[in-house]
Amino acid sequence: MGELITIKDLKVHYPIRSGFFNRVTDYVYAVDGVDFVIEKGKTYGLVGESGSGKSTTGKAIVGLEKVTSGQIIYEGHDITKSSTRKSIGYNKEVQMIFQDAMSSLNPKKRVVDIIAEPIRNFERLSDQEEKRKVQEMLDIVGMPNDALYKYPHEFSGGQRQRIGVARAVATNPKLIVADEPVSALDLSVQAQVLNFMKHIQEQFGLSYLFISHDLGVVKHMCDNLAIMHKGRFVEIGSREDIYNNPQHIYTKRLLSAIPKIDVDNREAHKESRRAVEREFQTLQKEYYDNNGRVYDLKQLTASHQAALLHLESEGI
Ligand SMILES: Nc1ncnc2c1ncn2[C@@H]1O[C@H](COP(=O)(O)OP(=O)(O)OP(=O)(O)O)[C@@H](O)[C@H]1O
Ligand SMILES: [Mg+2]
């Protein structure tokens, strides 16, 4: 299928200002040198705990956050400059879905205007054409037609998230950055939203960057994943690599945090969770340098890389 977007040594550092003169005294290294490729029609998972830099990475890719250094190559163009994004129509082709649909959808606007807004930025449609287009989008996400003239507060969380998806796909984008799109939803509703996101992907040949703090949620969505910690990647690989052969302790820790329904093995699961936690506490040196920084990624196989100090003992 080929690559859609390539992220090279991306850094986003936020200045910290303090003191009487409000000078920049330090930086938050929110994203500190990450490399990855999102392929056409595929889903790339970006997983890590709170504050690891996931949203900042996503926002940098859609152009909502200023990049400190590095490149984001989309169809041969480095889109880190807003002038380039404009000239190649990037803002139409790359959209974002936010975690909290309640605060990302304008409460004073009706659904028809919310979904039509991104279309209006790029196309001139008559009122009739626009209405038809919005109805088509609502159909795709399984919302009734009478939703058109309602306001966001008149819907449930799952329905609002569908409206967010409809809005994101309205411009017929090639990439959607979905930042924790189902985290605020009940498990059953999560599954519904994930299902139609997959459905839409097949229908339109979309790529997703799917951001989550939960490896359980993204398991069936992602073709490839990056595990992020402290602004860096600790491990990247195919779904197989990450779920069946994790190498970094941080990845193992996230995996052991996935709730298990299996009642029979609950004790065994608890014990393995404790073992992972012990390893995480005692073997810091193996996984983090003296400054607590993640090591550079080492290539393990063609698809699999992990931030390990030594390769020998890994038994791959
Ligand atoms: N505008 C900002 N100014 C300064 N620091 C920021 C800003 N936005 C984020 N940060 C910091 O950058 C780091 C990464 O934040 P980010 O929102 O990318 O994390 P995240 O992985 O998305 O976390 P969460 O799972 O909680 O959404 C955090 O330490 C955060 O406090
Ligand atoms: Mg976030």
Q: Which of 208, 207, 200 is nearest to 137 (CA)?
A: 200
Handedness of CA 145, 149, 154, 157 (dihedral sign): positive
Q: Which residues of 102-114 are buried (b: 16+ CB within 10 A; e: fewer)?
A: bebbeeeebbbeb
Tokens of residue 124, six digits: 């001139």
Question: Best of 12, 14, 67 to mutate for ligand 1, by most ligand atoms within 8 A of CB?
Answer: 14
- Torsion, Cα of 70, 99, 214, 205 (10° steps): -70
pTM, to two decimals: 0.91
Rounded distance from Cα 68 to ligand 1 centre (Å): 15
- CA dist 20 and 238 (Å) reads 49
**Which of ligand 1's atoms lies nearest the C-alpha of 58?**
18
Pairing of strands 43-47, 224-229: parallel
- Domains (range + CATH), the chain: 3-244 (3.40.50.300)
Per-residue pLDDT of the chain (316 residues; tens, 9 = 90+): 699 999 999 999 999 998 888 899 899 999 999 999 999 999 999 999 999 999 999 999 999 999 999 999 999 999 999 999 999 999 999 999 988 766 778 999 999 999 999 888 888 889 999 999 999 989 888 888 899 999 999 998 888 988 998 898 888 899 999 999 888 788 888 888 898 899 889 989 999 999 999 999 899 899 999 999 999 999 999 999 999 999 999 999 999 988 776 677 788 888 888 988 888 888 877 788 888 888 999 999 999 999 998 765 544 4
Tokens of residue 55, six digits: 């949203």
Rounded distance from Cα 56 to ligand 2 centre (Å): 7
Smallest CA separation from ligand 1 atom 26, residue: 50
Rounded distance from Cα 56 to ligand 1 centre (Å): 6
Ligand 1 site: residues with CB under 6 angstroms? 14, 28, 30, 48, 50-56, 213
Rounded distance from Cα 97 to ligand 2 centre (Å): 12
CA 1 to mean position of chain CA atoms: 21
Smallest CA separation from ligand 1 atom 4, residue: 14
Question: Best of 11, 13, 55, 59 to mutate for ligand 1, by most ligand atoms within 8 A of CB?
Answer: 55
Rounded distance from Cα 146 to ligand 2 centre (Å): 33
Query: From the CA atom positions of the chain, what is the Rg in Å?
Result: 21
- CA dist 43 and 212 (Å) reads 13
Kindly give, in sequence order, each residue whose CB lies less than 8 Å from that of residue 221, ignoring residues fewer than 6 positions away. Answer: 43, 45, 194, 197, 198, 208, 210
Q: Which ligand is nearest to the Cα of residue 229, counting in written order?
A: 1
Rounded distance from Cα 53 to ligand 1 centre (Å): 6
**CA distances (Å), origin 128, targets 109, 125, 142, 308:** 18, 8, 21, 58
